Structure 1
Amino acid sequence: MRFLKWALGLVLLLGVAFVVGGLVLPASTHVERSVAIARPPAEVFAVLNSFQRFNEWSPWAGLDPQAQYSYEGPASGAGAKMRWTSQKPEVGSGAQTILESVPDSKVVVDLDFGSQGKAIATYTIVAGGAGSRVTWGFDSKPSDNLLERWLGAWFGLLMDKLIGPDFERGLAKLKQVLESPPA
Structure 2
Amino acid sequence: MKFLKFLLFVILIVVIAGAIYFGTQDGTYQIEASREINAPREVVYDIVNEYKTWEEWGPWKKEEPTMVFNYADKTSGEGASYSWQGEVDGSMTTTEAVPGISLKQDMTLQTPGGERKPEVYWTFETTEQLATIATWGIKGEHTLMDKVYFAFTGMDFEADMQEMYEQGLTGLEAAAREEIGKYAVNIDGITQYSGGFYLYRTTSAKAPSVPTIMSQNYNGISTFMSENNIAVTGMPFTIYNETFPNGDVIMTNALPVREKIIVAGDTNVFSGYMPTVTAVKVTLVGNYINLGEAWSTAMKHVQDKGYTLSNEKPFEVYVTDPQDHPNPADWITEIYVPIEDLK
TM-score class normalised by the smaller sequence: 0.7 to 0.9
Task: Give secondary structure in 2 for the equivalent of 1:79.
Answer: coil
Contact 2:75 2:82 in 1 (8 A): no
Per-residue CA deviations over 1:41-85 (Å, capped at 9, x if unaligned) read 211111111201111210112334433221114231121111111
* 2:167 alignment partner in structure 1: 169
* 1:27 alignment partner in structure 2: 27
| Percent of aligned pairs sharing the same letter | 22
Question: TM-score normalised to the size of structure 2?
Answer: 0.44
- Report the Cα distance in structure 2 between the residues aligned to 1:128 and 1:45, rounded to whole angstroms: 15
Long gaps (5+) in structure 1: 1-5
Larger deviation, residues 57-66 vs 149-158: 149-158
Larger deviation, residues 24-33 vs 52-61: 24-33
Paired residues in the alignment total 173
Contact 1:29 1:156 in 2 (8 A): no
* 1:36 alignment partner in structure 2: 36
Q: How far has the Cα of 1:157 moved from its partner?
A: 7.2
Higher relative contact order (CA 8 A, sep 6+): 1
* 1:124 alignment partner in structure 2: 123
Long gaps (5+) in structure 2: 1-5, 184-343
Instruction: Give the residue type in structure 1 aligned to 2:80.
Output: A
- Report the Cα distance in structure 2 between the residues aligned to 1:59 and 1:170, rounded to whole angstroms: 5
Question: TM-score normalised to the size of structure 1?
Answer: 0.77
* 1:113 alignment partner in structure 2: 109
Superposition RMSD on alpha carbons, in Å? 2.9
Instruction: Give the residue type in structure 1 aligned to 2:122.
Output: Y
Contact 2:28 2:141 in 1 (8 A): yes
Q: Does residue 93 of the first structure (1) align with residue 89 of the second (2)?
A: yes
Larger deviation, residues 7-16 vs 107-116: 7-16
Instruction: Give the residue type in structure 2 aligned to 1:138.
Output: I
Structure number with higher strand proportion: 2
Structure number with higher helix proportion: 1
Contact 2:34 2:135 in 1 (8 A): yes
Correspondence 1:1-183 to 2 at 5 A: 14=14, 17-86=17-86, 89=87, 92-116=88-112, 117-130=116-129, 131-143=131-143, 146=144, 148=145, 150-151=147-148, 154=151, 158-180=156-178, 181-182=181-182
Task: Give secondary structure in 2 for the equivalent of 1:126.
Answer: strand
Larger deviation, residues 92-101 vs 12-21: 12-21
